[in-house]
Structure formats: C-alpha cells, structure tokens
Amino acid sequence: MTTAETAPPNRATAQAPTAPPAPMRLRELVFGAALSAAVRAAARLGVPDALGDTPQSAEALAAEVRTEPGPLRRMLRALACYGVFTERPDGTFAHTDMSRLLREDDPNSLRAIALWCTEPWTWAAWPKLDEAVRSGRNVVEGLFGKEFFTYLNEDAPESADVFNRAMTRSSEQSAREVAALLDLSGAASVADLGGGQGHVVACLLDKYPGMRGSLLDLPRVVENALPRLREGGDLAGRAQIVPGDVREAIPVKADVYVIKNILEWDDESTSRLLHNVVQAGGPGTRVIVIENLVDDTPSMRFSTAMDLLLLLNVGGAKHTTDSMVSRLTAAGLAVDTVRPVNPYLHAFECHVSA
C-alpha cells in the first residue's frame, strides 16, 4: 500500500501550475524582445536543424553550429522556459513541438515567418509604436524615406527575400486548407486576386479538374509563379497568369473570385479593390474573402500583434468580423457565410448583389 508521500498524483485533486503574479508577468512581457531575438538567433544559427531526434549537449551543438558553448547554453535555457526546446535533467537539450517548427525541413515549418517577424527593420519600427498610435499612420516612411515595399525591394533585398519565402511557405500551408474548405462545384472558372505565386489557384485546379483558373498579381510577383502554372507546367493548359495591380483594375471575368490576406491596406485601397471585383464579376458572382481576424478567434495574440505590425509598416489593419462585413456590404457584396479555415484564417463567402 502506497503512502501519501509516494502516491501518484491524483488528476482530480492535482493543482494546476500557479500563474506568476502580475509584477513578474509584466517583467516577463517587457523582456519579450529577448525571446524574439533568441528565436531569431536559433533559426539563423541553424540550431533546430542541427538538433536531431537524440538530445545533445550544448557543447556538441556548439561544435556543429560553430558557436561558443556557454552563450549557446544560455540562449537555449531561455528558449526552454517558453517551450522552445527542453532541457533534460542531464543538461542535454531536446526538441519540442515548437522547436521542430523552426527546422527548415519540417513540413509545417515556421522558420521563414519567425525570421520575417524579427527582421532588422522591425527593431527600428517597434519603438515608434506610440507615434503610429498617435497619428494613425505608418512609421516606416519616416524611418527610411520610402514606402515600405519600395524600401524592401530597393534597400533591403535580404529582407525582401525573407518576406517572399515567408509568404510562400505560409501560402503553401494554408492553400491546401482553403481548397479543402471551399465547395466550388458548378463553377467553371476561378480568379485568385493578389494570389502571389498561385498556391491557392493551383490547389483549386487540382481539386476541380474541369475548372480554369487565373492568377493576378504585380508583375514582379507573378514572374515567380509556380512552374506548374507556367508554360510547360501540368496546369498551364487551364491557367492564365495576369500581371497587374488589382487595386487599379481586374481584367478577368470569372465565376468565383478569391481574395486572400490582401484586404489589410488603407481603407481607400481596400474599397477600390472590392469595387473592381463587383464591376468585373457582375450580379451573382461569388467572391470569397479570406482574412485573419482580431476578434474572438483562437489566434488573438498572433493576429493582434500582426495588426500592430501592419500599422507600423504600411498603415494597414487586420479586421474584426463586423468591420470586414461592413466593408464588403458597402462595396455591394452580400455576405452569405463566415467560416473558419484554420485557427488563424476565416473565409467570408459572398456574392455580388443584384
């Protein structure tokens, strides 16, 4: 018979870990930059890739990634406090579900996103959040003298490359979920507006072999469209690539228009795009808008942080359900359903009002 001292924990009576008191929690929050920097450093050093399935000492990892073992151990210890890696009783470090997402070869890798959200320009912009909140305008133009994407492409090509890789990886992962959710039975054609390299339209063409698809985005973006959609690709016969700015015109007629994660600009640009969709499609045309939301979703911490980053770099914003519906209806769209795609994306299925 076990004694009280050696009895296994009782799930019914075991106490949940006590949350740190408010003063300590606030101290942790204001040091959030240290955690972001540690995640970035681990990814750039290749520590998650070097650590395999077998736990390793800081010394062994340091030799593999060419760092000093002492500072590496300190960084790993800080990350382990938040569940990024775990430190074992023998002093070795092992992967966790989160640290594996920083591996380049993980099918759900978030390495590119982690780097994008911690690029050098972000460290210059975040301290000016009070200025952006006060004025309601972006701070990047004041910092660098140029509109954000002009700055990236002209002055920060490495950051532009990180952005492109992050958006590509994010699109790859979410496109399959979008295609699985949407029922486009009966539609003969679909157009993906601002669709980047074409991951969404490619997945939809795979799902519906009789459908034709169009990819519309800026010339410099569609130059890198998926090889599958370009001449010689297996989907080329059913796909067309249309370079242009969807905020200026939509020169394609389709049964269904998909707009994913681009209604985050200023209100004028968003209104112009939606007006263009209504004009191009005509009454009854289906329009599917897919966005992050900043109200009552499982990803509130992530979405609200991205909302603030958009304020800093382009003066844009994420939407609440009500603000999104308001913009859609003002443009002449009737909202039929709002459904989650995954924990951080929602689909607004609409049609052009008569």
pLDDT band at residue 269 under the 50/70/90 scheme? confident
Average confidence (pLDDT) over 347-354:
94
Which DSSP string corresponds to 62-90? HHHHT--HHHHHHHHHHHHTTTSSEE-TT
236: number of CA atoms within 13 Å, CB side? 9
> What is residue 17's predicted lDDT score, i.e. its pLDDT?
58
Q: Tens of pLDDT along 154-184?
A: 999 999 999 988 988 888 889 999 999 999 9
H/E element holding 339? strand 333-342
> What is residue 85's predicted lDDT score, i.e. its pLDDT?
98
H/E element holding 301? helix 300-313
Q: DSSP assignment, residue 53?
A: S
H/E element holding 257? strand 256-260
Whether the pLDDT of residue 347 is over 90: the answer is yes
> What is residue 11's predicted lDDT score, i.e. its pLDDT?
40
pLDDT band at residue 35 under the 50/70/90 scheme? very high
Q: Tens of pLDDT along 240-249?
A: 999 999 999 9
Phi, psi values for residue 134, rounded to 5°: -65, -45
Contact 146, 159 (CB under 8 A): no
Average confidence (pLDDT) over 288-295:
94
H/E element holding 335? strand 333-342
The conformational region for residue 75 under phi > 0 = left, psi -120 to 50 = alpha, else beta, is alpha
Average confidence (pLDDT) over 67-77:
98
> What is residue 12's predicted lDDT score, i.e. its pLDDT?
41
**107-115 long-range CB contacts below 8 Å, 24 or more apart?**
108/173, 109/169, 110/169, 111/43, 111/48, 111/169, 112/162, 112/165, 112/166, 112/168, 112/169, 112/170, 113/166, 113/169, 113/170, 114/39, 114/40, 114/43, 115/40, 115/43, 115/44, 115/162, 115/166
H helices of 3-117, in order, are 22-30, 32-45, 47-50, 58-65, 69-80, 97-100, 111-116
Residue 97: CB partners within 8 Å, gap ≥ 6? 83
Better-scored residue on pLDDT, 344 or 117? 117
Structural domain boundaries of the chain? 25-106, 172-295+312-352
> What is residue 18's predicted lDDT score, i.e. its pLDDT?
76
Whether the pLDDT of residue 16 is over 60: the answer is no
Whether the pLDDT of residue 7 is over 70: the answer is no
Q: Angle, nearest 10°, between helix axes 22-30 and 32-45?
A: 40
Q: Which tokens belong to 344? A: 């951080």
Q: Which residues pair with 349 in a beta bridge?
A: 288, 337
Average confidence (pLDDT) over 298-316:
92
Specify the residue for token string 């073992």: 69
Q: Tens of pLDDT along 226-242?
A: 999 999 999 999 999 99
Of 76, 154, 152, residue with least CA distance to 116: 152
Whether the pLDDT of residue 139 is over 50: the answer is yes
Whether the pLDDT of residue 60 is over 60: the answer is yes
pLDDT band at residue 327 under the 50/70/90 scheme? very high
For Cα atoms 298, 303, 306, give the angle at the middle one, nearest 5 degrees: 160
Phi, psi values for residue 12, rounded to 5°: -75, -30
Q: Which tokens belong to 290? A: 């897919």
CATH class of the domain defined by 172-295+312-352: alpha beta
**Percent of the chain surpassing pLDDT 70:** 95
Q: How far apart are CA 137 and CA 312, in angstroms?
A: 7
Q: What is the architecture, at CATH level 2, of domain 25-106?
A: Orthogonal Bundle (1.10)
> What is residue 115's predicted lDDT score, i.e. its pLDDT?
97
